[in-house]
Structure 1
Amino acid sequence: MIPSAGQNPWGTPGAGGNAFLQSNKPLIADLALAALKERGEVKKKKICPQFRTDRSLCLMTKKNPLRRVCICIVDARPFEYFILATILCNCLALAFNHPYPGEDSNAVNQVLEKIELAFVIIFTTESALKIVAYGFVLHQDAYLRNFWNVLDFSIVLIGLSSKALENMNIDVKALRAFRVLRPLRLLSGLPSLQVVLNSIITAMVPLLHIALLVVFVIIVYAIVGLELFQSKLHLTCYKNSSHKTPEMMPNPRPCTFETSSMGFKCSELGPDYFCADMYGKEGERYTGPEGGIVSFDNFLYSMLTVFVCITMEGWTSTGYYVSDAIGSWWPWIYFVTLILLGSFFVMNLVLGVLSGEFSKEKEKIDRTLLFRKERQEKREQQDYLGYKEWIELAEELSDSEGDDKESEDLESGGGDGIIEEEPAMHVEEVVKTHCHSTFRRLRKFRKRTRRAVIAFINSRQCFALIIILVFLNTVVLTTEHHNQPEWLDEFQDFANVVFVTLFTMEMVIKMAASGFSDYFSKLFNRFDFFVVIFSILELVFVKSGLLNPMGVSVLRCARLLRIFKLTQYWESLRSLVGKLLKSVRSVASLLLLLSIFILICSLLGMQLFGGRFNFIAHEKPRANFDGILQAMLTVFQILTGEDWNEVMYHGMRAYENSPWYGVVVIYFIFLFICGNYILLNVFLAIAVDNLNEDDDEDEEGNGDAPKKQNDTPELTETAEKTTPPTEEPENEITKMMKIKHYERTDTEEQTYEEMFAEDDDAEEEADLDGKDGDDQKDMSPQDSRTMPPHSAFFIFADTNKFRIFCHNVVCFSHFGNVVLVCILVSSILLAAEDPLHANSPRNRILNMFDYFFTSVFTVEITLKMISYGFVLHEGAFCRSVFNLLDLIVVCVALVSFVLQNQTISAVKILRVLRVLRPLRAINRAKGLKHVVQCMVIAIKSIGNIVLVTFLLEFMFAVIGVQLFKGKFYSCTDISKHVEEDCKGHFIEYKDMSLENPILSEREWKNADFNFDNVPNALLTLFAVSTFEGWPSLLYRSIDSNTEDHGPITNYRPIVAFFYITFIIVIPFFMINIFVGFVIVTFQKEGEAEYKNCELNKNQRKCIEYALKARPRRRYIPKGHLQFKIWSVVVSKKFEILIFIFIFINTVALMLKYDKQGKFEARILDSFNYFFTAVFTVEFVLRLSAFSFRVSFIFHCIYNELKILFLGTIM
C-alpha cells in the first residue's frame, strides 16, 4: 500500500531517516515504481532503467556504460518507431519482389536482395541491443521471456543462416520464406487488435479439443473410404483399336461396368469402348480425377479428400466420381453423413468457442476501461476537493477587496461631481441606448429566424421532403443502363445538377441555422457535408473537362446512404443501425488483423509458388502467386472458400516431382482453417455478442416500469436490509423458487402467443400445483387440455358420452405416439414412390398404404374436432395453426382420392401437396415445434436487417452499373475485340492440340451475369454474396475495357477493391448479422419459458440434474470364476490394453494402399484376423462377466458400437 501524502514513510529527517533510505533502496525503488504505475505515469510494459535486473548476460551490471547506452536506446520512443518503419519497408521490399519461373530474375529483384542484407543487419543490431539491455533468458523480463522477442530472434537467426549458406552456394529458398513472418511484429504495437487477438489466443485450448474431434472424424471416414473406394477411381473408358494397347477416352472420367444399375457406362461413347483399370496391363493407367489427388488410394490421400469434402467445396463432384465408379447409390450415404456430421456439426463448434471467448475477452476489456475511468474520476474528485478550499479562500479575499475598493470610491468622490457630469453625458447615453436597442432588435429577429429555421429543419415536413429528394435521386440513378438514349444522358446530368444544388442549399441552411459547431457535431451532417463537397467538385472538374465523368460518378451513389435518416423516426431501425455502428470498432480491428494475415500469407505464397503455376498442358490459372496483388487476391479467394481446393491442386501439381509435394498441402490447409474457420467466424462472434448485449440492455430498460409497479426481489431485498428482521428467514430454495408475474407489454410476444395458442399456461399451472409431469410427458400439448365447456358442432355437449369417449381416446397416452409413427411411415412411403412409372406395381402397393394412412389421419382429425369443437369457441380445434395444417393436409389427400380419375392439372397439384404430410410431426415433437416457433419469430423480426442489407446491396449495384455497364461483352474469337470485327468463322483448337481443328462461328456475347442495368447488377451481386463463382466475375471485371469493347487481360486490376469491399460489407458482415440475429432469437426464445423464474440457467440445470439423477446399478457376480472375469473386465488395466489394441488396429488399417504387393496384403489380413479375435474375446469376456445380462451390455453406447463393429467385421 502506498503511504498517503500526509504521512512520512521514511521517518524523521534525521539520522534514522537517512539510515532507512540507505538500507532499503530496492524497497524504495519498488514502492516508487508502484506509485508511478498507480498514477498512470508509467505503463505496465515499460520498465524504467533504474528498475532493470541487476545483471545482464552474467557480466554487465546496471552501471556498465555499454548496458546503460543500450537501455537508453531500446527505451527511446524514436527507436521503436524506427523499427516499425523498418518492418514496413521490409514488407514493401518483399512485396515488390516479382517471382519468375526457375532461376530467372530481373534487376529489381537483385537490388531487393542487396537491400535484404541491410534489413538483416538492422534486425540483428536490434536483437543484440535488447539482449544487452534486458538480459537473455534466465530472469523475469528477459529478452526471450517475451513471445514477440522469441519470434524476432528466430527470424534473425534464420536470416543470418540464409546469408551464410548463400555464400556457400546452397539453396536457401526455404529459409527465405520465413522472412515473411516479420509483419507479425505489427500486432504487438497496435492496441486496438488486443481484444480480437486475445480472444483468438485464449480460444486456442478449446479449439485444440475441437481440432482433435475433427481429426478423429476425418480419420474414421478416411479409413472407411480407404476400405470401400480404394483403386475405384482409376476405372475409365478405353477404346479397342488396331494397335495392341487400347486408347484412353479423351477427357477421361471414372466409369462403371455395364452390369451396374447406375453410373457412367462406356457404352454411351460407342460400342468399341470398355471400362477397365489398366494396372498391370498393357496401356496407360488413368491417374484419377485432378491428377490422382482426389482419390482413396492411400490413407494420406484419403484424409485430404475427406477434409476437402468437409469444407463443402467440391464434395459433390467427388461424390459423383465415386458413384459413377461404384455404379450404385449407396456411396452417397457415406458423403451425406460426412457432410452432416463433419460440416454441419463438428466444424460449426468453432463458432461457439470463438463467440464465447470473444464475449469474455470483451467483457474483461470493458471492466478494465470502467476501472480506469472510475479511478480517473476519483483522482479528479480528490484534486477538486484539494483545490476547493483555496478557491473559497480566494473568493473571500476577492470579495473583501471589492468592498474596500467601493468604500474608497464613495469616500473619495462626492455626489456633486456626479450631478455636474450628468448633463454632459445625456446625449451620448441616448445615442448608445438607441443603437443598443436596434442591435437588440436585430439579435432578437435573428434568434427568432434561427429558431423558425431549426424548427422547420427538424419538422416531419422537411424530413419527408429530404427523403423524397433522396428517393428521386435514387430513381434517377436507377434509370442508368447500357445503350441508353442521349436524352436520358442529358436528363441525368440535369437532374444531378438539380440535386447537388438542393442538397447544397440544405447544407448551407443547416449551417447558418445551427452554427458550425452544432452542425458538425452530428455524424449524418458530417457525412452530408463530404458528399455535397465531393459532388460540387465532381461537377466542377467534369464540366471543365479535367476528369472523366465515369471515374467520379460513383460518388453520386453515396447519397443513397442518406436514406438512413429514416432512423430518426423509425425506432427499431435506429436500434439496428446503432448495433451495427457498435460492431464497427471491433470489425475494424478484425479487418486490420485480417489484412496483416492476408499480407503474410500472400508473401509466403509468393516465396513458395511464385512462377510455378506454368503448366504445359493447360493455360496459366488466374489464381496464382506471381505478384503481390495477384497473391493477395488468391489468398482472399481461399478465405472465402470458393474453389480453394483447385488452387491447392495447382500448388501440389507445381511440386509434383519434388520432395515438398506433400508439405505444400499444409500451407493451404493452414490458410483455409485460420482464415475461413477462425478469423471469419469472429465476424459472427462479434455480431452475436453485440446483439446479445443490446438485447440485455433493452430488457433492462423495458424492465424498469414493471419493477416500479410490482414487488420485485431487488426491492424486497432492499426493504429487508433497511428494516429489522421480525420473522424467520425463508428457506433459500423456497426463496429461489418464487415466481415473478410481469404484465405482458411486448406486442411481438402477444403475437407469438396468439399464433401458437397452446396450453402452455395450463402446463405451468399444473407444475405450480405440484402435479407430477411424468404422467403427461407422453401426451402432446393439444391432448393434455381438458375438454372445452362448449358444444361441438352444436350437437355434442360436454356431457355427451360419445364426445367423452372421443376425448378419452385422444388423451390416451399412446394415441399421439401411434399417430406420429403413422406420419413417419407414410412420409417414408411417399419418398419410395417411382415418379417415372406411375402405374408400376410398387406404386400400386404404395397407393394402398396411402389409403390406409389417410383413413387413420381422417379418423384422428374427426376425433379431435368432436372432442374440442371446430372453430367458434376458445380452445377449438381450428384455433391452432398446427391443427389447421393437419386439416389442410388431410383434406388435400381426400380430395385427390375423390378426383384421382380426372386428368386435370389441379389434381396433380393436390397430389404434390401430400409432401406437406411430414410437417404434421411438428405439432407432436416439442423440440421441433420450438424450433419452428423460433424460426417464425426470427423471420418476423428480420425485416430491418433485410432492409439495411438490401439498401447497401442496392448502392453497390448502382456503383457496379456506373463501373461495368456494357463492358462484359466479348467475342468467341478472343483475337477480336469489337463487335464490328466479330463476324464470320474462325478455327479453334481444343486442349492446345493441332490435330483436331474445329471451325466455329464468331459471336458477340454478353456474360450471363452483368451490370448493364440495376436489376441485373442486383442479381449479379446476389450471386457474389453466395461466394459461388465470384472469382470468374472478378477476373471478368478486371479484364473489362471500355463499353462495347472486348476484354484485355488484367486491364483494370483496381476494380478488385469493389468486389473485396462488397464481400466484406455484405457476406462477411451483414449476412453474419443476419445469422447472429437468428442465433440470438433462438437463445432468447429458449429462455422464454423460464422468464418468470428467479432461478438462473445454472441453478435450473442443477435442480434438473438432482431430479433426474438415479443411483447407478452396479452388478457384482457371486461365482468365484465369474467374479475373477468381472474384476479383470472392469479394471483400468484391461481398458488400457483394449485401447492399445484399438490404436494398433487403427494404424494397421491406415497402412493399406494402392498397388501394394501380395506379401503386404497377407500381413494386413493377418493383423485383421488377429484383432478380430482379440475383440471377439473381449466381447465374450464381457458377456460372461455380466451373466449375459443384456441391460448391462447395452447400458453404455460404446458397448453398442463395439457390438456393431464386431458384427460388421465378422
Structure 2
Amino acid sequence: MGNTNFDNFAFAMLTVFQCIQWRMDRCFIWMNDAMGFELPWVYFVSLVIFGSFFVLNLVLGVLSGEFSKEREKAKARGDFQKLREKQQLEEDLKGYLDWITQAEDIDPENDEDGDEEGKRNKTTSTRFGKTASMPTSETESVNTENAGAEGENAGCCGSMCQSISKSKFSRRWRRWNRFNRRRCRAAVKSVSFYWLVIILVFLNTLTISSEHYNQPNWLTQIQDIANKVLLACFTCEMLVKMYSLGLQAYFVSLFNRFDCFVVCGGITETILVELEIMSPLGISVFRCVRLLRIFKVTRHWASLSNLVASLLNSMKSIASLLLLLFLFIIIFSLLGMQLFGGKFNFDETQTKRSTFDNFPQSLLTVFQILTGEDWNAVMYDGIMAYGGPSSSGMIVCVYFIILFICGNYILLNVFLAIAVDNLADAESLNTAQKEAAEEKEKKKSARKESLENKDGDKGENDRKKAIEAKVSVDEEAEEEKEHPEPDEEDEDEPEVPAGPRPRRMSELNMKEKITPIPEGSAFFIFSNTNPIRVGCHKLINHHIFTNLILVFIMLSSASLAAEDPIRSHSFRNIILGYFDYAFTGIFTVEIFLKMMTYGAFLHKGSFCRNYFNLLDLLVVGVSLVSFGIQSSAISVVKILRVLRVLRPLRAINRAKGLKHVVQCVFVAIRTIGNIMIVTTLLQFMFACIGVQLFKGKFYRCSDEAKQTPEECKGKYIVYKDGDVNSPSIRERHWHNSDFNFDNVLSAMMALFTVSTFEGWPALLYKAIDSNGENVGPIYNNRVEISIFFIIYIIIIAFFMMNIFVGFVIVTFQEQGEKEYKNCELDKNQRQCVEYALKARPLRRYIPKNPYQYKFWYVVNSTGFEYIMFVLIMLNTLCLAMQHYGQSKIFNDVMDVMNMVFTAVFTVEMVLKLIAFKPKHYFTDAWNTFDALIVVGSVVDIAITEVNPPEIDPTGPPTSSEDSARISITFFRLFRVMRLVKLLSRGEGIRTLLWTFIKSFQALPYVALLIAMLFFIYAVIGMQVFGKIAMRDGTQINRNNNFQTFPQAVLLLFRCATGEAWQDIMLACLPGKRCDPESDYNPGEENTCGSNFAIVYFITFYMLCAFLIINLFVAVIMDNFDYLTRDWSILGPHHLDEFKRIWSEYDPEAK
C-alpha cells in the first residue's frame, strides 16, 4: 500500500494510529486481503474496540475531569476576590459612617429627610438596575409591568409630556395613551397573541422551505408576496410590543433584540431588492435567520427553555475556546505553508485540493485535518512531496500527527468537556428550579389564605417566615415518612454488621417475586383458582421453562442469521423454513399459556398491559401472518419477513440486567428529545440557507471542459493515468452531485453527512467551485463560501453534537445514581464500603527454609526487578527491529538474541519456582502469564530448530516466522505485556489500569445491547440489500457486502466507526445491479437496492455514533471521576493501596 504497511516498526505504528482514528477504509481492505493469517479481522476489530472506544476515551475522561477541576478553582478564586472586595468596601463604609456620625451630631434636624430620600433613590436605582441587567431568552419573562409603568414616565413620552402644559387636552391624551398601552400590553402577553405569532413563524418557515431548484414561476411569485406580507406582520408585532412595553422594557429581552435585528434586516433587504441595488439572493439569507424565531415556543416549554439557557451559558465558555482554536489553526496553517507550500504538485495527472499553497487554502486544510476527515490522505501527499516513504520524507508525518493529536484529541475534546460540565450544572439547576417553583406555589396559596384575614407589612413578614418554616418542616416530615432513617430500622438488630451497607436495587430484588395470577377470569371462562390456570402459572414461572424459551429465542435468531439472502429457494433456506415453523409454534404456545395465566387484556395485570409482552405478541404475530401469505412476490410479505428480526428483543424481557440497560436507553432517548428538536431546527435553518446559496449549482459534465447541458453531448477521450498511448472513448453526460442542495430535504441529508465529518471536503470543494444554476463548475470560484461550512461544523458538529453526547453521558450517570436513591451515602462512600466488604486479605508467601529464603529475597529485591525491566525493554527493542526484507545475517542474530532472552526468562521462572514453590507461584496471575510465555517461546525454538525454514536464494529474504501461517512466535510478542506489570508500580498508571478494569466490569449488558443492535441491523441488511451484486470499484464489493452474516456485521462495524457510511448508503439505493445468482425475473437485472437504505443507515449511524458508543464514554467518565478529583478524599483506590502496603507488614494476613 506504499505509505501504509506493517513492514517495520515505524510503519506499523503509523498504520495502527490510523486504524485507531477510524480510517477504516484501508484497515478493512488490509483485514480481508492480509496474507498468512487466519481471521485477521479479530486483530483489527479488537484494535478499534480497545484503541478507539477505551484508550482514546480515557483522554476525554482526563480532560473532562481537569476542566471541571480548573473551573472550580477559578470559581473559588473569583469568590475569594469578591469576598476581599466586600471586606474592603465594608472597611471604607465604616470610615464614611464614622464621618457621617460626627456630622449628625452637628445637624440632627435634616437626618430623617435625608435618610428617606437616600432610601428612595437607592430603591429606584436598584429596581432600574435589576430590570436592565436581566437578559432573558424568553420574550416576556421580565417584570414588564413595572418597567413599562416606569417607561411611561421616563421612557418614550416622558419628556414630551413634561414640555406640554398641564391642559385638559394633555391630561385626556395621557389617560387615553395609558389606557391603550395597558390594553396592548395585555394583548401582547396573552396566549392567543403568542400562538398567532407562532402560526406566522410556521407560515414563514413553510414559505422558505418550499423553495427548490427548477420551481415554477407562480410559486416564486407566491413566495415573494408571502414574504412581504409576513414581514409586514412581524414589523407590526415589533411596533406593538415597543409601544406597549416601552423601549427600555422591550430591549431587555434577548429575543426582542433578536426580533428587532431580523425585522430591520428584512426591511433593508426588501428595499435594496425593490430598488434593484442588490440581487434577491444577496441578503436572502436574512429570511432564513427568521426561522430562529421558532425558538419562541420555549416560552411555554420549560425544559426546552432551560436547555436554551444552558446552551447560551456554554457559549460563553466556548467563545474563549474558539479563539484558542482559531489561533491554533493560524499557527499550523503558517507552518504548513512554510513546509508544503507549492509542493503538492508531484502528480501532474491530479489536481490536489487539500494543499498549503496560500493562506485561505492552508486554513481550510488544517481545519479538515482537525475534523479527522481524510487527514491521512493529506499526510501521504506531504510525505510524497518530500520524496515518498522510502526517503527521509517520512519525518514530515510528525507535523500531521502533532496537529491531529493537539487539535482533535485535546482542543475538540474540551468542547465535550465544557458541554458535559454545563449540562450537569443545568440538570441540577432544573431540579432546583422545580423545587423552588413548588415552594413558591405553596407560599403563594398560603399567602392568599392569610391575606384574607390580616393586613400590614409586619404581619405579612411574620407570616412569610411562619409559612417557610411550616413548609420546610412539612417537607422534612414527608421525607422522613418516605425514607425512614436506617438507624431506626436497624435498632432491633444491632448484631448485624452489614447495616450501613448500601445495597443496589439489583441486590435487593435478587429473589424475584413471581407475579401472582390476577383477579378476573381468563377468556371469560377460567377463574383465578381454576386448576388449569394454576398449572399454567406454575409452568411458565418455572426456571427450566424460562431458560428453554431463552434457548429457543437464541436458536431462532441464529436461524435468521444463517439464511441465504441470494437464493431464497436454496436447500438451506428450505430446512431453516421448517425450523421457523417449529420455533413459531413453540412461541405461540408460550404466549397462549401466558394469556391463559394472566388473561388477555381486559383486566389489570393482564398479558397485553405490559409493553414487553406486546413486543412478544407482535413478533409472533408477524411470523404467523407471513406463514399465512406464502407468495413471496407480495412486498407486504417481504416487510413481514424483515420484521422477524425483532425476535432477539424478546430476550430483553427475560434478562433483567439487559432490561435495566434498555430502560436506561429509553429514558435517555426521552431526555434527548429536547436537544434533538434544537439540533433539527438549527439543521433545518442551515439547510434553508444552503438551498438559497447552492440550489441547482452542483451540476457538472463528465467532460470537465464543457460548462452547460447543451455543450455536454457526444463523446470525449480520456487518457488512463495521463498516458497518451492508452486512450479510451467515453460518453459525455450531465449529472448532479449525489449530495446536493436542490431542495430542503436533500440539503438536510447533505448537511447531516457533513456533521458526521464523512466526505465533507468533497462537498466543500464542489460548493467552492459552484458557478450558476445548471452551469458547470469553475475552479476555486467562490472560496469565501467555505465560511458557511465552517460555521455549520462549529455550531452543529463541534457544539450541538457534543451537547448531544454530553446529554447521553449526564443521563446515564443520573440513571446510575437513581439505583441508590434510598441511600444516604454518596457514590464515593458507597464504593469505599463496597470495596471494604468485598476485600480479601492479601497474603505474601515468605519461606521458612534459609536457602529458599535467599532465592525469595533475590527475586523480590528492587534490583532484580530493574534488571528484568531492562531485559524486557531490550527484548521489546529486538522484536521492534525486525522488518520486511531483512538479511540472513540479521535473521541469525535475531534468532540468537531470541534464544538468549528465552534462556534468561526461563532462569527467572526457575528462580521464582524455587523461591515460591509451584503452589504459591501459580496463585499469582502474572506468574502464570510469564510461565505461559516462557513455555511458548521454548516450544517455538524447538520447532524452529527441528524444522528450519527453507529460504529461497532467488526471492526476497524472509524471516523465520514466515514459514508457518500462525507461528507460535506470537507468544514472544506477549513479553511486551510484562512491561504493563512493571509500569503498574507507578501510581498514575495503576489508577489508569484500575479505571480500565472497572470500565470493563460495567459493560457486559451494554455490550449485549450493542450485539443485539448489530444482529438486528445485520439481518435486516441481508434481507433487503443481500441481492446487490458485488463489483470492484463500488462500495458493495467482495470486502464489503450483505451476502453473509459475518460480512454484514463487519460492514456495520465499519459504518458504526463512521468510515464512508454515506457512500455505502448510496450504493444500496434503488437501480443497482442484482447478483447473477439471485432469483430475479427477466428484465429485473437492475432493480436491486431500496430507498429504505436512507432510513436504515441514518438510524443505525445515529443509534451507534450518538447513543451506543457514548455508553463507553459514559462508563469511562463515570469510573474516572475519582482520578481527577481532590486526592485528599478517601476513595476505593486508596483502600487498595492500603491493602497492598499492609500485606508487606502482615505477610500472613493475620
Aligned to 2:759: 1029
Contact 1:296 1:302 (8 Å CA) reproduced: yes
Out of 457, 471, 476, the residue aligned to residue 202 of structure 2 is 471
Amino acid in the other structure paired with 1:609: F
Residues in 2 aligned to 1:302 and 1:516: alpha-carbon distance in whole angstroms = 67
Aligned to 1:577: 308
Residues in 1 aligned to 2:649 and 2:671: alpha-carbon distance in whole angstroms = 23
Residues in 2 aligned to 1:1161 and 1:648: alpha-carbon distance in whole angstroms = 33
Residues in 1 aligned to 2:354 and 2:547: alpha-carbon distance in whole angstroms = 56
Aligned to 1:304: 14
Q: Residues 749-828 of structure 1 correspond to what in structure 2 (within 5 A)?
A: 783-785=512-514, 787-788=516-517, 790=519, 793=522, 795=526, 797=528, 803=534, 807=538, 810=541, 827=557
Amino acid in the other structure paired with 1:535: G
Out of 85, 102, 109, the residue aligned to residue 376 of structure 1 is 85
Residues in 1 aligned to 2:690 and 2:224: alpha-carbon distance in whole angstroms = 19
Pair 1000,738 (structure 1): closer, same or farther in 2 beyond 3 Å: farther
Aligned to 1:961: 691
Residues in 2 aligned to 1:864 and 1:525: alpha-carbon distance in whole angstroms = 60
Deviation at 1:552, TM superposition (A): 1.5
Out of 247, 250, 267, the residue aligned to residue 519 of structure 1 is 250
Residues in 1 aligned to 2:109 and 2:709: alpha-carbon distance in whole angstroms = 96
Q: Residues 433-448 of structure 1 correspond to what in structure 2 (within 5 A)?
A: 435-448=166-179
**1:539 counterpart = 2:278:** no
Aligned to 1:983: 713
Residues in 2 aligned to 1:856 and 1:1184: alpha-carbon distance in whole angstroms = 60
Deviation at 1:557, TM superposition (A): 1.5
Ranges in structure 1 where 5+ consecutive residues have no aligned partner: 1-288, 405-431, 724-729, 741-765
Pair 702,516 (structure 1): closer, same or farther in 2 beyond 3 Å: closer
Pair 926,365 (structure 1): closer, same or farther in 2 beyond 3 Å: farther
Residues in 1 aligned to 2:758 and 2:486: alpha-carbon distance in whole angstroms = 53
Amino acid in the other structure paired with 2:59: V
Q: Once structures 1 and 2 are overlaid, which stretch shifts more, 645-654 or 940-949?
A: 940-949
Residues in 1 aligned to 2:725 and 2:16: alpha-carbon distance in whole angstroms = 39
Aligned to 1:317: 26
Q: Once structures 1 and 2 are overlaid, which stretch shifts more, 653-662 or 784-793?
A: 784-793
Contact 1:738 1:1093 (8 Å CA) reproduced: no
**1:1042 counterpart = 2:1042:** no
Residues in 2 aligned to 1:1130 and 1:881: alpha-carbon distance in whole angstroms = 60
Residues in 2 aligned to 1:775 and 1:969: alpha-carbon distance in whole angstroms = 60
Deviations 1:606-660 (A, max 9, x none): 1111111011354231000011100000000011111111000100111126964
Aligned to 1:951: 681
Q: CA RMSD in A?
A: 4.5
Deviations 1:423-448 (A, max 9, x none): xxxxxxxxx99944443332222211
Contact 2:501 2:833 (8 Å CA) reproduced: no
Pair 1027,403 (structure 1): closer, same or farther in 2 beyond 3 Å: closer
Out of 212, 218, 221, the residue aligned to residue 481 of structure 1 is 212
Aligned to 2:68: 359
Deviation at 1:1056, TM superposition (A): 0.5
Larger radius of gyration, structure 1 or 2? 1
Aligned to 1:631: 362
Out of 315, 320, 341, the residue aligned to residue 50 of structure 2 is 341
Aligned residues: 848
Residues in 2 aligned to 1:365 and 1:297: alpha-carbon distance in whole angstroms = 50
**1:1193 counterpart = 2:902:** no
Residues in 2 aligned to 1:681 and 1:808: alpha-carbon distance in whole angstroms = 54
**1:671 counterpart = 2:400:** no
Deviation at 1:481, TM superposition (A): 2.3
Higher relative contact order (CA 8 A, sep 6+): 2
Deviations 1:458-493 (A, max 9, x none): 222222222222222222222322233344434333
Amino acid in the other structure paired with 2:43: Y
Pair 892,770 (structure 1): closer, same or farther in 2 beyond 3 Å: farther
Provide the secondary structure at the position in 2 that maps to 1:529. Answer: helix
Pair 883,498 (structure 1): closer, same or farther in 2 beyond 3 Å: closer
Residues in 1 aligned to 2:897 and 2:585: alpha-carbon distance in whole angstroms = 57
Out of 408, 411, 427, the residue aligned to residue 695 of structure 1 is 427
Aligned to 1:326: 35
Amino acid in the other structure paired with 1:679: L
Deviation at 1:389, TM superposition (A): 6.1
Residues in 1 aligned to 2:623 and 2:500: alpha-carbon distance in whole angstroms = 43
Contact 2:768 2:786 (8 Å CA) reproduced: yes
Provide the secondary structure at the position in 2 that maps to 1:1048. Answer: coil
Aligned to 1:410: none
Deviation at 1:683, TM superposition (A): 1.3
Q: Residues 410-429 of structure 1 correspond to what in structure 2 (within 5 A)?
A: none
Contact 2:164 2:170 (8 Å CA) reproduced: no
Deviations 1:681-729 (A, max 9, x none): 111111111111011122233345899999xxxx9xx99xx99xxxxxx
Deviation at 1:919, TM superposition (A): 2.9
Pair 402,599 (structure 1): closer, same or farther in 2 beyond 3 Å: closer
Contact 2:769 2:782 (8 Å CA) reproduced: yes
Residues in 2 aligned to 1:385 and 1:861: alpha-carbon distance in whole angstroms = 83
Deviations 1:1058-1082 (A, max 9, x none): 0000111111111111111111110
Instruction: Using structure 1 for the length normalisation, give the TM-score.
Output: 0.63
Aligned to 1:1156: 886
Pair 377,296 (structure 1): closer, same or farther in 2 beyond 3 Å: same
Out of 321, 326, 336, the residue aligned to residue 595 of structure 1 is 326
Provide the secondary structure at the position in 2 that maps to 1:986. Answer: strand
Provide the secondary structure at the position in 1 that maps to 2:196. Answer: helix
Contact 1:739 1:1092 (8 Å CA) reproduced: no
Contact 1:739 1:1094 (8 Å CA) reproduced: no
Deviation at 1:931, TM superposition (A): 2.2
Q: Once structures 1 and 2 are overlaid, which stretch shifts more, 589-598 or 943-952?
A: 943-952
Pair 373,470 (structure 1): closer, same or farther in 2 beyond 3 Å: same
Amino acid in the other structure paired with 2:378: V
Residues in 1 aligned to 2:359 and 2:487: alpha-carbon distance in whole angstroms = 64
Aligned to 1:495: 226
Provide the secondary structure at the position in 1 that maps to 2:730. Answer: strand
Deviation at 1:1005, TM superposition (A): 2.0
Contact 1:323 1:329 (8 Å CA) reproduced: no
Contact 2:501 2:834 (8 Å CA) reproduced: no
Pair 1120,922 (structure 1): closer, same or farther in 2 beyond 3 Å: farther
Deviations 1:398-443 (A, max 9, x none): 7848999xxxxxxxxxxxxxxxxxxxxxxxxxxx999444433322
Q: Once structures 1 and 2 are overlaid, which stretch shifts more, 786-795 or 940-949?
A: 786-795
Out of 272, 278, 295, the residue aligned to residue 5 of structure 2 is 295
Aligned to 1:931: 661
Pair 462,836 (structure 1): closer, same or farther in 2 beyond 3 Å: closer
Provide the secondary structure at the position in 2 that maps to 1:973. Answer: coil
Deviations 1:18-52 (A, max 9, x none): xxxxxxxxxxxxxxxxxxxxxxxxxxxxxxxxxxx
Deviation at 1:366, TM superposition (A): 2.2
Deviation at 1:920, TM superposition (A): 3.8
Provide the secondary structure at the position in 2 that maps to 1:622. Answer: coil
Amino acid in the other structure paired with 2:777: P
Residues in 1 aligned to 2:634 and 2:649: alpha-carbon distance in whole angstroms = 26
Provide the secondary structure at the position in 2 that maps to 1:663. Answer: helix
Q: Once structures 1 and 2 are overlaid, which stretch shifts more, 527-536 or 854-863?
A: 854-863
Amino acid in the other structure paired with 1:565: K
Amino acid in the other structure paired with 2:746: N
Residues in 2 aligned to 1:433 and 1:589: alpha-carbon distance in whole angstroms = 52
Amino acid in the other structure paired with 1:353: V
**1:1058 counterpart = 2:781:** no
Provide the secondary structure at the position in 1 that maps to 2:283. Answer: helix
Contact 2:518 2:606 (8 Å CA) reproduced: no
Ranges in structure 2 where 5+ consecutive residues have no aligned partner: 114-162, 443-464, 474-479, 491-495, 937-967, 972-1150
Residues in 1 aligned to 2:848 and 2:535: alpha-carbon distance in whole angstroms = 55
Aligned to 1:206: none
Provide the secondary structure at the position in 2 that maps to 1:348. Answer: helix
Provide the secondary structure at the position in 2 that maps to 1:1059. Answer: helix
**1:972 counterpart = 2:705:** no
**1:616 counterpart = 2:325:** no
Contact 1:798 1:804 (8 Å CA) reproduced: no
Contact 1:969 1:1044 (8 Å CA) reproduced: yes
Deviation at 1:1204, TM superposition (A): 7.1
Pair 699,1204 (structure 1): closer, same or farther in 2 beyond 3 Å: farther
Q: Once structures 1 and 2 are overlaid, which stretch shifts more, 374-383 or 897-906?
A: 897-906
